[in-house]
Amino acid sequence: MTSAPAPARDTIAVQLRGITKRFPGVVANRDIDIAVRAGTVHAIVGENGAGKSTLMKILYGMQKPDEGSIEVDGRTVSFSSPADAISAGIGMVHQHFMLADNLTVLENVVLGAEPGGFGRLDFRAARRRILEISDSYGLGVEPDRLLEELGVGDRQRVEILKVLYRGARILILDEPTAVLVPQEVDELFGNLQELKSEGITILFISHKLDEVLAVADEITVVRRGTTVATVLPADVTARRLAELMVGGELPSPETRESTVRPEVVLEVRGLTVRGEEGRPLLDDVSLTIHAGEVLGIAGVEGNGQAELVDAIMGLRPATGTVRLGDRELTELNTRHRREAGIGFIPEDRQRQGLLLEAPLWENRILGHQSQRPNVTGPWIDRAGARADTERIVREYDVRTPGIDVAASALSGGNQQKLIVGREMSGNPVLLLAAHPTRGVDVGAQAQIWDALRTARAEGLAVLLISADLDELIGLSDTIEVILRGRMVGTADPRTVTPEELGSAMTGAGEAAEPAEHGPAGGRHAAGTVAVADREDAGRHLVPGPDPVPPDSGPGADPDLDVPLPGTAGPGLTGTGTTGTGDLANDPDAGGEERP
């Protein structure tokens, strides 16, 4: 294998043309066009949920595209299983390693591709091969170590070797840095250079812009399931990439006229959630939402949004206080919090929002098991629940043959409309909406936005979490930026642009100067939670070399300020690492523009 001549750099190793993949109610990929040159690192970037994973599953034979063609080394191929992809020379290194702890490296590598025949295992030949591969690509793998003795970086190299052992010339790395600490990221990037120089082609999936800029030869941006641009790292900045990733093409969810009323509905003070090792996942967060106000939380996923929602719902233990109107919720369980008037649109509707195998009318009861019209005393009121389900189906335009079909038979958008309708029932005073339009089609999205707008006008307070920045900006009265469990900035949706928000969220400002960090530019990327160096949180927002005037806002320490890219004006205000105090002292968080 190593004797294969390194292909010339301008031959195309993988060509995807017009790839489209539909799931019921969702188009996960549409008209994807990518050309990957042999012997290069080609990065695919996009927000979570943009369709990167589906695309890679298609390329690795785990999903079949509905339309489009795949060419590998100039030959059109059709994969019906990963085995086909492997035999075509494509290998995948998953984000979560597929290795057995109690086996040696050697055993792990040969597992499923055992050498020898007739039931005999030829470990000697396998060891020789492994060492050969390891040496020629500089992987430094020791075949006889037990896997459980190895660190994460070593394990990843074992995964890479495993794929090479099966003859792969094209490697797909799915978010390879997500589990690594900075030094390991450096090492990985070193390995990638080595692999590349030996003629291996690498597809590098990531949403961390600085890493991508440091390692890739070419970058393709995926947004809403389709490829929007292919660029060279030399030609773009992290900010430009963020812009491409976030985009702005959907019908606008604008709601301009403010409906914010003076009365406070939700008041959260010093909310902290700790992970299993005691590390805070949500760190001393305070926020206030008024009646008729939508507070948007902007952040890359995994920075504490889920923990914030769970803590307010009482789904996981937290310290700090939560008040709803003049009621203290801190000691209440989830059911009592719901009864107090909280509606909840969960992030994962299939896992948290629905009983997939139960009929729609029983799903109407879920989460409202103690409220009319679903129950009277200890009894389920079937007639009441069914009638009200009919109402929701009608008012929220849930497309279904009837209320007796299982929830799993509905499309994603219709499932979500049912959930929104349910959570709006019973006059809630607060709605927690986590990614309310994720994975739903445009029609359902517009309807859900309408429902939120109407309820807001009637005085509903909404905590909105979304990865769709257009949605956040369009619906919110105030936007808070969350990074590593802390609130690090406030933005005024009237003036902020998706690009500005995007760079504040991803900490892309720093990456505009990757040269200083060498290939390790990615070490501070948002989402590499393993770094756990929270004191850095504010500094991620330090402006790069772009000529940006220092902000003269309330943040005293200029290092802690958010850059104000462009000329849009002071849309973003950093509150720095002491953010909670600032927020707590600012009763006008509801829609007032900061100086």
Partner 1 sequence: MKRFDLERIGLGLAAPVLALIVAALLSSIALVISGNSPLHTFNAMLDYGTQPETVVQTVNKATIYYLSGLAVAIGFRMNLFNIGVDGQYQIAAFFAAVVGGWLLLPGPLLIIVVVLVAIVVGALWAGIAAVLKVTRGVSEVISTIMLNVIGGGIVAYLLDPHRLGTIVGTQQVTTKPMPSDAYLPGIPVSGGEIYGFIVVAIACGIAYWVLLGRTRFGFDLRATGLSETAAVASGVSVRRMVIRTMLISGGVAGLVGMPLLLGSSHAFAQDFPTGYGFSGIAIALLGRNNPIGIALGALLWSFLEQSAQILDLENVPKEIVTIMQGVTVLSVVIAYELVRRFSLAQQQRRVGAELRAAAAPGTPTTGEGSPA
Provide the mask over 298-327, with x wherever binding to partner 1 is found by CB under 8 A and - wherever it is not.
---------------x-x------------
Binding-site member from 1, 15, 17, 26 for partner 1 (CB under 8 A): 26
Q: Which residues of 583-593 are buried (b: 16+ CB within 10 A; e: fewer)?
A: beebeebbbee
Compute the least distance from the CB of residue 16 to partner 1, in Å: 17
Residue 438 makes contact with partner 1 by CB under 8 A: yes
Helix, strand, coil percent values for the chain (each to nearest 5): 35, 25, 40
Q: Is 586 helix (H, G, I), strand (E, B) or coil?
A: coil
Count Cβ atoms within 10 A of the Cβ of residue 269 and give its class: 0-12 exposed, 13-18 middle, 19 or more buried: middle
Contact predicate 506/242, CB 8 Å:
yes
**From candidates 54, 177, 191, 425, binder to partner 1 by CB under 8 A:** 54
Give me the least distance between CB of 412 and partner 1, in Å please. Answer: 5
In the bound state with partner 1, the residue whose beta carbon lies nearer, of 6 and 380, is 380
Element spanning 18, H or E: strand 12-23
For partner 1, the binding residues in 194-233 under the rule CB under 8 A are 224-225
Interatomic CA distance for residues 188 and 190, integer angstroms: 5
Amino acid letter, residue 461: A
297 closest CA partner among 158, 62, 472: 472
Residue in 100, 125, 380, 457 binding partner 1, rule: CB under 8 A = 380
Q: Which is nearer to partner 1, 222 or 260 (CB)?
A: 222
* H-helix segments, 352-398: 360-365, 382-395
Interface with partner 1 includes 394 (CB under 8 A)?
no
Among 112, 116, 151, 443, binds partner 1 (CB under 8 A): 443
Going 436 to 438 to 444 to 445, the CA torsion angle's sign is positive
Hey, which residues between 325 and 354 contact partner 1 (CB under 8 A)? 333-338, 344, 346, 348, 350-354
Q: Least CB distance from residue 189 to partner 1, whole Å? A: 28
- Residue whose structure tokens are 């990518």: 34
* Cβ at position 363, least distance to partner 1 in Å: 9
Whether residue 128 contacts residue 165, with contact meaning beta carbons closer than 8 Å, is answered with no
The stretch near partner 1 (CB under 8 A) out of 44-52, 162-170, 175-183, 268-276 is: 44-52
The nearest distance, CB 31 to partner 1, in angstroms, is 11
Whether residue 553 contacts residue 252, with contact meaning beta carbons closer than 8 Å, is answered with no
Nearer to partner 1, 333 or 585 (CB): 333
The residue from 178, 355, 530, 531 that contacts partner 1 (CB under 8 A) is 355
Positive or negative, the Cα torsion across 121, 124, 125, 129?
A: positive
Task: Name the minimum Å distance from CB 334 to partner 1.
Answer: 4
Of the pair 187, 307, the CB lying nearest partner 1 is at 307
* Binding footprint of partner 1 on the chain (CB under 8 A): 21-28, 30, 48-51, 53-54, 57, 224-225, 250, 313, 315, 333-338, 344, 346, 348, 350-358, 362, 365-370, 375, 378-380, 382, 401-402, 405-406, 408-413, 438-443
